[in-house]
């Protein structure tokens, strides 16, 4: 897939592009099939929900140990647009799966930007990375969709307070205060990203986003693939491989059918 000039201009303005059904149902089924093994791991790359230690909140780094997810990261449908948006070659800084279980198990995410810890902890020089958000499950209005505030990447780093999520187990969010949030919402509005499994949103790492508790009975998993510009490699070494990948080798695409071949 190649983006048009107007799509690239739209991304620069709005901070995101959304492609419902970019992966087909067979490809989405391959990714869904790989989830149980990923979510049953018990290494430090698996972070549980604060209110329920048996429920996974985040699974980092699955593209390192799950073949379907490795292939996903290298599909031309993802890599080509990301290279166009960043105007150069890319590597993956981090990947994380948010399974967002139903029955209230998938807890909310307060409004935040993702770039601050990558900058202050991992030493990422510039906000030149794209969050490819791949819907593993259908995201509907009732399964707590990802909410974004378009255009907020244009403010750069917002004044926000860092705090450790879930007893300081290593995932830091920077929440904006309510007054800032209210002003931005009045100006930019809020979009809910709704689409079938296999949809993909390319989101700038400084776009404000969050989500509510998932009180539906259905899981709503999204895989976030953080592609960083190759010339923007991180200098920090504090965080482990699954949060701050130190292999900056530019990615090479696979054939676009390589994920479907696993169906
Ligand atoms: O998937 C969600 O509901 C939100 C996740 C999020 O904001 C994040 O991982 O930074």
How confident is the model over 132-142, as pLDDT tens digits?
999 999 999 99
pLDDT mean across residues, the chain: 93
* pLDDT number for residue 239: 92
Is the shortest distance between the CB of 94 and ligand 1 below 6 Å? no
> Taking 80 as the threshold, does the pLDDT of residue 173 lie above it?
no
Measured distance CA(211)–CA(118) in Å, rounded:
21
DSSP state of 218: S
Is the shortest distance between the CB of 224 and ligand 1 below 6 Å? yes
> Which of 40-49, 83-92, 131-140, 156-165 has the weakest average pLDDT?
156-165
Which atom of ligand 1 has the smallest separation from the CA of 114? 10
Which atom of ligand 1 has the smallest separation from the CA of 58? 9
pLDDT band at 107 (very low <50, low <70, confident <90, very high): confident
pLDDT band at 116 (very low <50, low <70, confident <90, very high): confident
Q: Which helix (H) or strand (E) holds 223?
A: strand 222-229
The total number of residues written for the chain in this structure: 263
Strand partners, 208: 149
Whole-number Å distance, alpha carbon 56 to ligand 1 midpoint, is 13
> Which of 13-22, 85-94, 113-122, 180-189 has the weakest average pLDDT?
113-122
Per-position DSSP letters for 233-245, written without gaps between them: -----SS-TTTS-
Residues with Cβ within 8 Å of 42's Cβ and at least 6 positions away in sequence, in order, are none
pTM across the whole model: 0.95
Which atom of ligand 1 has the smallest separation from the CA of 96? 9
Which atom of ligand 1 has the smallest separation from the CA of 173? 10
pLDDT band at 49 (very low <50, low <70, confident <90, very high): confident
Is the shortest distance between the CB of 208 and ligand 1 below 6 Å? no
pLDDT band at 172 (very low <50, low <70, confident <90, very high): low
Measured distance CA(22)–CA(25) in Å, rounded:
10
5-240 CATH choice from 1.10.287.1770, 2.60.120.620, 3.30.420.10, 3.50.50.60: 2.60.120.620
Is the shortest distance between the CB of 98 and ligand 1 below 6 Å? yes
Q: Are 100 and 164 in contact (CB under 8 A)?
A: no
Mean pLDDT of the 1-22 span: 97
Is 251 strand, coil or helix? coil
Whole-number Å distance, alpha carbon 52 to ligand 1 midpoint, is 18
């Amino acid at each position: 897939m190649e983006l048009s000039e107007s799509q690239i201009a739209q991304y620069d303005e709005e901070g995101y592009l959304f492609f419902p059904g970019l992966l087909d149902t067979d490809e989405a089924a391959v990714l869904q099939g790989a989830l149980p093994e990923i979510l049953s791991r018990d290494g430090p790359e698996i972070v549980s929900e604060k209110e329920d230690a048996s429920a996974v909140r985040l699974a980092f780094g699955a593209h390192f140990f799950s073949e379907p997810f490795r292939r996903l990261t290298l599909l031309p449908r993802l890599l080509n647009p990301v290279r166009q948006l960043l105007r150069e070659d890319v590597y993956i800084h981090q990947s994380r799966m948010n399974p967002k279980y139903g029955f209230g198990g998938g807890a909310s995410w307060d409004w935040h930007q993702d770039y601050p810890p990558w900058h202050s902890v991992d030493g990422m020089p510039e906000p030149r990375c794209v969050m490819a958000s791949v819907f593993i499950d259908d995201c509907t209005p009732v399964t707590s969709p990802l909410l974004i505030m378009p255009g907020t990447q244009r403010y750069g780093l917002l004044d926000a307070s860092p705090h450790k999520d879930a007893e300081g187990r290593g995932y830091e969010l920077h929440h904006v205060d309510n007054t800032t949030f209210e002003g931005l919402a009045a100006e930019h509005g809020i979009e809910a990203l709704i689409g079938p499994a296999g949809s993909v949103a390319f989101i700038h790492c400084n776009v404000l986003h969050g989500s509510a508790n998932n009180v539906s009975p259905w899981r709503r998993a999204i895989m976030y693939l953080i592609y960083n510009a190759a010339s923007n490699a991180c200098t920090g070494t504090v965080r482990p491989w699954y949060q701050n990948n130190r292999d900056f080798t530019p990615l090479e695409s696979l054939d676009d059918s390589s994920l479907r071949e696993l169906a």
